[in-house]
Amino acid sequence: MRKSLFIILALLILSTALFAGGQKEAAPATLTFWYHFDNPESAVTPLVTKFEKENPNIKIKPEAIAWNAYNQKLLTAVAAGSPPDVSQVKLWWQPQLVEMGALAPLDNYIKNWDGRNDIYDNVWNLTRYKDGKQYLMPLQMVILYMYYRADTFKEMGLTPAKTRAEFLTLARKLTRDTNGDGKIDVYGFGIRGARGGHDWWGTFVLSSGAKFFLPDGSSGLTTPKAIAANQWYIDLYRKYKVSPPTTPNDGFKEIIANMKSGKTAMTIHHLGSSKTMEAALGDKISAAPVPKGTE
């Protein structure tokens, strides 16, 4: 009988966490694993092979899910009572999945796992739910970078910005009409205005000194710092117009395509897009830390 609950685990440690002790006498089982990685050259296949070799009575059925449909497909499957046994998720999906009763707590498995200390305490704390239980296993923690067109920067004699003020000046210089037809055809910064764009917004809000939550647990998004940072971010598109007119609807594919074509000169993303951009642009693309501060 298929389990009504599914758990979020890194496939590499399933054998030591979920199935501690091997349990080779158990009946054969097949576990469905849904995943999505930005880098198509993911490590899923060798991990599955390794796991199945170490656990011959367990078979993994991996299924790559398109990112744009992932969240909705997962929620639909949970509501229908037919979720995958194991699934990769975003951290911010956790509250809804817990409320739906979709996640099994992993605390008893984790405390007996000899790899527990290989993961930093701050990562465990970040992924632990507000009820004190651990429903998620850290799998992919990424750092955001400012990607920029190195060829354009070299041509214009520019260097990456270190502060928000420098960044705005830079983005305005890079936004220009390059063919003399009176229309802007290159924009300084590609903003992900569609789904997933909270990373872009949050990066600038947090780097301004604002906090999502205050020490007493209340929201930090109504503080003067947060309000000012939020307005500054909105103004990049509405006031300064340093991002394309399509910004509100631009998702991952659009911002990467705009960087490759030269329509934008800067954007934010993590290492998941580095290989595809390097393959297309070579040394014409580079990356730097995201600007911080207000000055």
DSSP one-letter string for 12-29: GGHHHHTTTT--TTSPPE
Instruction: Give the per-residue pLDDT at 25.
Output: 55
The predicted-structure confidence for 10-56, as pLDDT tens digits, reads as follows 333 343 334 333 444 556 799 999 998 755 556 788 888 999 999 99
Instruction: Give the per-residue pLDDT at 6.
Output: 41
What is the rounded CA–CA span in Å between residue 243 and residue 265?
10
> CA 264, 270, 273, 277: dihedral to nearest 10 degrees?
50
What is the rounded CA–CA span in Å between residue 241 and residue 235?
8
Cα 128 to its chain centre, rounded Å, is 18
- Report which secondary-structure segment, H or E, holds 167: helix 164-174
Residues in the chain, overall count: 295
DSSP assignment letter at 131: T
The predicted-structure confidence for 81-114, as pLDDT tens digits, reads as follows 999 999 999 888 999 999 999 999 999 999 988 8
Structure tokens at 236: 């990049």
Range with the poorest average pLDDT among 34-48, 209-223, 279-293: 34-48
- Please determine whether the domains at 11-127 and 145-288 fall in the same fold group of CATH: yes
Structure tokens at 157: 């004699």
CATH superfamily, domain at 11-127 = Periplasmic binding protein-like II (3.40.190.10)
Cβ atoms 84, 32 nearer than 8 A: yes
pLDDT over 70 percentage in the chain? 88
CATH topology of domain 145-288: D-Maltodextrin-Binding Protein; domain 2 (3.40.190)
Please name which of 250, 142, 136, 257 lies closest in space to residue 203, comparing C-alpha atoms: 142
Structure tokens at 194: 């569609």
What is the rounded CA–CA span in Å between residue 186 and residue 204?
22
For the chain, what are the domain ranges? 11-127, 145-288
Kindly report the average pLDDT of the chain as a whole number.
87
> pTM, whole model, 2 decimals?
0.73
